[in-house]
Amino acid sequence: MKQKIIINADSYETRIAILEDDELAELFVERAEQRRHVGDIYRGRVNAVLPGMQSAFVDLGLPKTGFLHASDLAESLDAFDDISDLDEAGDKSRRRRAPVLKIEDMLKKGQEVLVQITKESIGTKGPRVTAQISLPGRFCVLMPGVEHVGVSRRIEDRAERQRIKAIITDVRPKGVGLIARTAGEGKGDADFDADVKHLHKLWQKIERKSGTVRAPALVHRELEMTASLIRDLFTADVEEVYIDDKDSFSEIQSYLKAVSPELRDRVILYKGREPIFDAFAIEPQIEKTFERKVWLKKGGTICIDHAEALVAIDVNTGRFTGKKNQEETIFRTNLEAAREVPRQLRLRDIGGIIVVDFIDMEIEANKRAVLDELRAELRKDRARTKAFAVSDLGLIEMTRQRERSSLLHYYTEDCPHCDGLGKVPSPETMLVKLERAMRRVAAMGTERRITVRVAPEVALFFVEQEGRRFAELEKRFKLRVELKDDPQLKRGQMRVFTDAKHELTKQVVGAVPGT
């Protein structure tokens, strides 16, 4: 699989696209005024301790307080699902687990704690923080206070794993743990030693600064998005990196000169006249990430719907009719969807609880094959994922690690007309609402003339398509109605005024869906 990294950097927004076989696989976006905070380390002050939730809220000096769960207080490796913490025989008993702690025994209101942001603020929720600090480098991750040495599970060769583990065991400073990253595959003693020394000096600097500042205060800021992604993603598997900004190009070259000089030739400054994302046909692919329906190559579809607590994905055969029988057609569609769903999750950066409704299959072997295909594709994802067995209703429930808002929520906001519902009252519904309002006004017996204000498209419907019915309503209720279109009103809003300009909307119209 050919991988490329395309970077579009300007003063307002930086976008980084990961291409796999020239197809957009992941997209990262950062705006100047919305800098990400994951990885930042703060000296925070505990605002409240909630024993019932086994959590605490920590003031970081940010607009929203950080959320700290009891499980993020202990020295544990459970958060590092992308590493292998087992011995080579696979003995899980050696896994270091967090002891059961009560947060009220560990923290008190007003106490100062050193924490690191692990998840961005999403919606009304503040950022998720942990007391388990980790500092990622080019080839290693350093974890203060954890006596552990491990190797990324993405390095599969047993001999290579043992070689790397021996190296980082020798270079590990006292009082810290080390995890060798995938980029460390094939690297020698000098590479790991330099990386570990850099990280250890950084940690000592953080410790010193933490002891001199008053909470809440920023102690360490993670690298900017471009530099951090180059550090994390630019491995030997990446054939080329294209970037359209000279300053960013120089920064990347300087960074690689210090850590991986052999990769410098793969970084290319883009000088074309056409915008870089247009030159690599990325822009049209980005536009498709906001569409609800995704077409599969054989004609099937998957539909992606965002709910409050989860994301629902529905699989349909669409235009695909197959050639043999119904079971085979369904199986082929589900198999193709099992490959596309993980790609869409990565591309749209969808996290949390996800429910996939595959088309019902009768043959158990087909169900297993679809689940196996889904899990195989999920293993390509750098985010932690877990897919459960097919339920009795034919659903596959899964989770995906969420560090930030999805691309849909990052780029969009709720519709001002439907308030995020996705639906607005039809013109027919609005006419029925008007009829009920007129009935209530007539029952009051004091009004003979009213003014009704509605959205322009609703007013046009009343006059052009329902003019006769409109006249019948006036005759039935003995009311003269002056209809006015108001561009400031939403599709589902209606305002009713008396001849004396008193508004009766609240008294006679009632709640209108969409207002």
Residue 497 · residue 451 · CB < 8 Å: yes
CB 318 within 8 A of CB 300: yes
* DSSP notation for 337-351: HHHHHHHHHHHHT--
Q: Which CA distances in Å does 202 have to 38, 113, 136, 196, 209?
A: 17, 19, 11, 10, 11
* Cβ-Cβ contacts under 8 Å for 436 (sequence gap 6 or more): 509, 510
Closest CA to 515 of 495, 487, 486: 495
For the chain, report the end-to-end CA distance as a whole number of angstroms. 50
| pLDDT of res. 32 | 67
Provide the residue count of the chain. Answer: 515
State the pLDDT at residue 58.
Answer: 94
- Cα three-residue angle 139-142-147, rounded to 5 degrees: 125
Residue type, 89: A
Please give the Cα distance from 397 to 355 (Å, whole number): 5
What Rg value do the Cα atoms of the chain yield, rounded? 29
pLDDT score at 74: 63
Query: Apex CA 37: angle with CA 129 and CA 148, to 5°?
Result: 50
Q: Phi-psi bin for 84: left (phi > 0), alpha (psi -120 to 50), beta?
A: beta
Global pTM? 0.72
Count CB atoms within 10 A of the CB of residue 125. Answer: 11
Residue 92 has a pLDDT of 36
pLDDT at residue 277, rounded to an integer: 92
Could you tell me the two tokens for 32?
Answer: 């100047």
Give Cα separations from 216 to 44, 62, 106, 121, 211 (angstroms). Answer: 5, 9, 19, 17, 12
Beta strand spans in 71-139 (E): 83-84, 112-119, 128-130, 135-136
Q: Tokens 């190559």, residue?
A: 297
Q: Please give the sequence-ordered ranges of beta strands (E in DSSP) within 201-300, or none if there are none.
A: 217-220, 238-243, 267-269, 293-295
Contact 82, 401 (CB under 8 A): no
Across the chain, which has 515 residues, the per-10-residue mean pLDDT values are 87 86 87 79 93 91 91 61 38 42 87 91 85 90 88 87 92 90 86 89 92 90 80 82 89 82 89 91 88 88 89 87 78 92 91 92 90 91 88 88 78 76 86 88 85 91 88 89 90 83 55 43
pLDDT digits (tens, 9 = 90+) for 374-406: 999 998 888 889 999 888 888 999 999 887 777
Q: CA of 416: how far to CAs of 313, 354, 485, in Å?
A: 25, 27, 18
3-state DSSP assignment of residue 403: coil
Nearest to 124 by CA among 349, 306, 308, 355: 308
Backbone angles phi, psi at 61, to 5 degrees: 85, 10
Q: What is the pLDDT of residues 221-270, one digit of tens each?
A: 887 778 788 888 887 788 999 999 888 888 888 888 877 788 889 999 99
Cα dihedral sign, 113-118-122-125: negative
